[in-house]
Amino acid sequence: PGPGLPFLPGCAIKDPTKTSFHRSQTLDFKNGYAFSRLPREGVGGDTLFANQLSQDELDDLCTKGSTLTYGLVKRPAPSSFAPAFVAYDKKVLKFDAYFQEEVAISAEEHYRIRQVGIYYYLEDDSMCVIEPKVKNSGLVQGKLMRRHRVPKNEQGDYYHWKDLNLGIDLTMYGRTYRLVNCDSFTKVFLESQGIEVNPPEEMVSDPYTEQRRTPVQKPTVPAGPDPFRQFLTYDTKVLRFYAIWDDTNCAFGDHHPCVIHYFLADDTVEVREVHRRNDGRDPFPVLMRRQRLPKIFVDKNKNFPSCVLEITDHEVQEWYSPKDFGVGKSVTLLGRTFLIYDCDKFTQDFYREKYGITDFQPVDVNKKPSEKAPQVIPPYNGFGIPEDSLQNCLSLFPKPPRKDIIKMLENNLKILRYQVALESPVPEDKNRRFILSYFLSDDTIGIYEPPVRNSGIPGGKYLKRTRVTKPGSTPENPIYYEPSDFTIGSTIEVFGHRFVITDADEYVLNYLERNAECFPAATLQSIRDHFHPRQVVVETASSGFPKKELDDLIVEVQKELKLHHEPFNTRKFHEAFHHFDTEGSGFLDKTRFLNVCDRFHVPTSTILLKKLIDYCSCGEDKVNYRDFLLAFPS
């Protein structure tokens, strides 16, 4: 309705131009906080008259109540609620404290004072202890106790800020802290909660730290000979010797190449070990630090504790000097014997001028290469194939035997199938027939037994795909079966079981004829003689129909099979026909032939299937299923 008109029937005017009827947005975010605001527009974008009342006036209208005697009484607006994690956010009580720690391994200090800061977080009543880090202190400092609620006693109570005050001892996890001071915020907060804060105490300092800060008086040394004469004369002059440390007497010992440095400035010796790449040792360059090394000790009592005292001139009769080193000499330094085999040019000049030594012929310390022991392959243990077992002898982490990838790619999906019979004295095994498949890609053999109904034998996989050795071959030199060994009537021995080849697939004959140069003539002739009578019968039976029309019909059936969505198991389809053809003639009774087709539900049209059966029929009772299966390649 328009302005001034009541909202009554007949007074309402509908605007046909209005298409938007949504409500305006009242929820929004500002600086990451959600808040609500009044709508700016009405439904459909209508103009809203601004509310002239403030939020306080609106609250007063909501809280006013009508009374007859005293008029309107104002009620206070409800106070806003703030949770603890909001009210006490980032508010922390900080106390300065210290604790005493015993020191049992030092003669200079018996206890240690460690100053820490205890923080109490008001938002979740958690606490943490942090010790300021001091550089080179040798102590584990920083956060000594992570932030969490600290248990107060065994009854399950936790420390609260009401339990904290100055001048008290606070025990947490067996360590007693003395609270001596706090910051201004902590003091104001505790006093606002009605707690009387004790006066602060003086922070106790560590006595050992104070002792270290006191200056040390240096003793006065009387004047004497110039101690820096040798230093000024031989500074930066070092004798370098190349030596070998023979450590083979110890377990896992070896010959360690080292470099011996003799510093002429102060008669100190340093030994550095030369590391090679992948030598298996930790890369510590210094084997012996730079120091004066004693050569002969003064005779002393057996109970003299030399292992815990520093060696001085009173305990040493003679120190190592340059005359004790030389090419070809063996020196014992701190219990290790080093053979010096060479030195640098500066060292040679030094010995030539001072000692008159001219023979500096290097000593050959190279180890002679040891003869490589021949690897003995252990005999085959019968587990797995010999090639796979051999890898355990050639490598610590055996790898699978190498495969002929070119052969696998060229002969992929090329399989020679034979029908075999089992030679067994058991009468039930005489009528069992098996399908032997030879995979040309990796020369493996798999045997499958087609299930026969009501035979009492389940059938299925008889031998999984594996390589089969010939009888008489040794595990060291195994000889495997090849396609040239499979002839009609030959006997194949597979892991103690003997099989006689009774039939073969036509693909075997075609493959052998295409690769006649790779197989013996006897093998090819055996397969040809087996298929010759069958080919004569087939040519006679199919002479009434042109071969071209049969090929065209096969192409149409295969096209229709490709258009079918569900896959058709042609392998089982072939095996079913071969199973019912016990004589291997390639012909089946028409009734049995139609039963097999109905059982597998051949996915072709009835017209094409009937036409193909007519082309492959031989008379009224026989059907050449081999020509029929050409339309269904496996």
**pLDDT (tens digit per residue) in 407-447:** 999 999 999 999 999 998 888 888 889 999 999 999 999 99
In this predicted structure, what is the pLDDT of residue 349? Answer: 94
The second-level CATH assignment, the architecture, of 542-634 is Orthogonal Bundle (1.10)
Q: Pick the range with the lowest mean pLDDT from 38-47, 87-96, 300-309, 460-469.
A: 300-309
What whole-number distance in Å separates Cα of residue 286 and Cα of residue 54?
A: 84
Kindly report the pTM of this predicted structure: 0.35
pLDDT over threshold 90, residue 576: no
Per CATH, the number for 234-354 is 2.30.29.170
Mind listing the pLDDT tens digit for each residue in 500-538? Answer: 998 898 899 999 999 999 899 999 888 888 887 655 445
In this predicted structure, what is the pLDDT of residue 540? Answer: 46
* Burial label, 385 (beta-carbon count in 10 A; 0-12, 13-18, 19+): middle
In this predicted structure, what is the pLDDT of residue 403? Answer: 87
How would residue 546 be classed by pLDDT, with cut points 50, 70 and 90? Answer: low
For CATH 1.10.238.10, the residue range(s) in the chain are: 542-634
Q: Which residue has the higher pLDDT, 418 or 599?
A: 418
Partner residues linked to 461 by β-bridges: 448
Say if CB 144 and CB 116 are below 8 A apart. yes
Say if CB 127 and CB 118 are below 8 A apart. yes
Buried residues in 497-514 as b, exposed as e (16+ CB within 10 A): eebebebbbbebbebbee
Extract the runs of DSSP E, i.e. beta strands, from 375-530: 415-423, 433-439, 444-449, 460-466, 491-494, 497-504
How would residue 301 be classed by pLDDT, with cut points 50, 70 and 90? Answer: low
In this predicted structure, what is the pLDDT of residue 308? Answer: 53
What whole-number distance in Å separates Cα of residue 62 and Cα of residue 64?
A: 6
Domain 84-211 is found in CATH 2.30.29.170: yes
Say if CB 271 and CB 338 are below 8 A apart. yes
What whole-number distance in Å separates Cα of residue 164 and Cα of residue 175?
A: 16
Annotation: CATH topology of 402-514: PH-domain like (2.30.29)
What whole-number distance in Å separates Cα of residue 238 and Cα of residue 261?
A: 6
Buried residues in 78-113 as b, exposed as e (16+ CB within 10 A): eeeeeeeeeebeeebbebbbbbeeeeeeeeeeeebb
Distance of CA 45 to the CA centre of its chain: 61
For CATH 2.30.29.170, the residue range(s) in the chain are: 84-211, 234-354, 402-514
Nearest Cα residue to 434 out of 410, 418, 423 = 418
In this predicted structure, what is the pLDDT of residue 6? Answer: 72
Pairing of strands 433-439, 27-30: unpaired
Section 399-414 average pLDDT: 90
DSSP code for 65:
B
Percent of the chain with pLDDT over 90: 38
